[in-house]
Structure 1
């Protein structure tokens, strides 16, 4: 085995093969991913900057949005630059420990994004069902505590993946047919028993995505009941409009994620492998690309904040 430590069957490095069978078109394939990554970086960094500098956006809803943007930016940055190096320069080698670190951040930040979307659903629930107590319930202290709890949950549930992979014997080569280090893609190179990896992966997905989707569903069920009981049609429309961006973010995040999850487990033999790789990359890159656009288009306060910030910066430059 190339790059293997014969005494421990632990490889010194893995080779990320990119998209198998489409190596000749890697350069062309990289173009849409590059554009999406640029949009994701500019959009999410722009939202974080806007929310931090605009006092009118210093509210719980926008703090959670800034946390989502930070998670999205970190998530796509954890794998896209490395993927582009594979496509552009054929730099396919990745150190074994670096591979585990990349896998940790990808899965941890994916779990974090799901948790932040759940917190944003909680924010909308409090804002619509308890509008007079909104600021007193979601204080800065509460926001920090629940954000840290979500972060700690993501870290604690992801760390076991690294230990499970670290102690596996690798005797099936070190060629990973993927653009980044994914838990199961690496585990399949082992000649040991990976049943516990499969079981723990399912448990982690159910505990994170299942729990978060349950909380989101319960929040919106209560929100819908509260909005329907409003006497004014304008009040109902305004209440629903405050949830539109968040609902779009949920769809953008969970639909590709679940599609990727189910096709990998139930469509392994019917769907070509390069299609799996495309789906896996899109499900990580699509939410960071589209979320800033959705919130920029759908949220009036953000549009107004962008205009104020733009003219403020322009007036400073003209002085």
Structure 2
């Protein structure tokens, strides 16, 4: 009887969801400019810039997946999103996030191994792992509500509206976090442990400073990606009832949009060839005006 009453108060698989939203950051221009410069300048068509290009492409895709909708929510208020489009966005958000974590791991590895053939592992593994997310949600027929208290269709935000046994969704989400972020963090930590050991064997302080300086950009990118992600994960898993909902939404947006906003600045400012090429481009355009 109780189950029947619960089903009577729910929605049969809705045609759309309503996103309530929260302010975000626009990040498309920086990553687009970075990719354009590396595409146009033939001197940047070298293996050492491949991972930077992959990082910028991943950031561009991630920002494109959520930033336009986020700005629409900010300017126009809550908006509806078709059910199928919500599942598609769910897939791309989680797949691109996993890809970015893989790129950061590859960048932390030895150049000879990381640049040898990074694309297949970085691109196909996250896609294969994330595919079950929308499929596990699509099997449910009944939902408690049509309103998602978020700016995008995150997997767990949609699962919270489901009527039924969501144990498989919860277990897969936890396994994904451990398999991708956990293993990547361990790999990055191990790689930098080896790097630090090798650098400390250098004879002069200047050589050590120069060696560590070459890693500073990557370390900044790692911190910008994993620190907001760690706080977002902890507040969702363990502070669901104690952390205010707007704080959780804000952390989720920082996790997805802060790295794409900062990475072009970090890579462009710290990589000499890219920085010089950007300055030359701006000077040329200024001379034409």
- TM-score, length-scaled by structure 1: 0.82
User: Is structure 2 residue 53 aligned with structure 1 residue 66?
Assistant: yes
Question: Does structure 1 residue 77 correspond to structure 2 residue 80?
Answer: no
Which among 14, 17, 20 is matched to residue 17 of structure 1? Answer: 20
Residue 91 of structure 1 and its aligned partner are, at CA, apart by: 5.5
Q: 2:20, 2:147 within 8 Å by CA — same for their partners in 1?
A: yes
- For residue 292 of structure 1, the aligned residue among 257, 264, 275 is 264
Deviation at 1:121, TM superposition (A): 0.8
1:252 matched to 2:255: no
Distance in 2 (alpha carbons) for counterparts of 1:245 and 1:85: 33
2:82 maps to 1:95: yes
* Structure 2 residue aligned with 1:131: none
* Contact 1:10-1:169 at 8 Å conserved across structures: yes
Structure 1 counterpart SS, 2:143: coil
* Aligned counterparts of 2:114 and 2:166: Cα–Cα separation in 1: 43
Asked if 2 retains the 8 angstrom alpha-carbon contact of 1:61 and 1:120, the reply is no
1:185 maps onto 2:172 in alignment: no
* TM-score, reference length from structure 2: 0.91
- State yes or no: 1:231 paired with 2:198: no
Residue of structure 1 equivalent to 2:3? none
Whether contact under 8 Å (1:86, 1:92) holds in the other structure is yes
Deviation (angstroms), 1:76: 1.1
1:174 aligns with 2:146: yes
Gaps of 5+ in 2: 1-6
Question: RMSD across aligned C-alpha pairs, in angstroms?
Answer: 2.2
Deviation string for 1:30-51 (max 9, x for gaps)? 4xx3xx31xx212111111111
Asked whether the 8 Å contact 1:14–1:176 carries over to 2, the reply is yes
The answer for the alignment partner of 2:43 in structure 1 is 56
**3-state SS, counterpart of residue 18 of structure 2:** strand
Partner of 2:253: 281
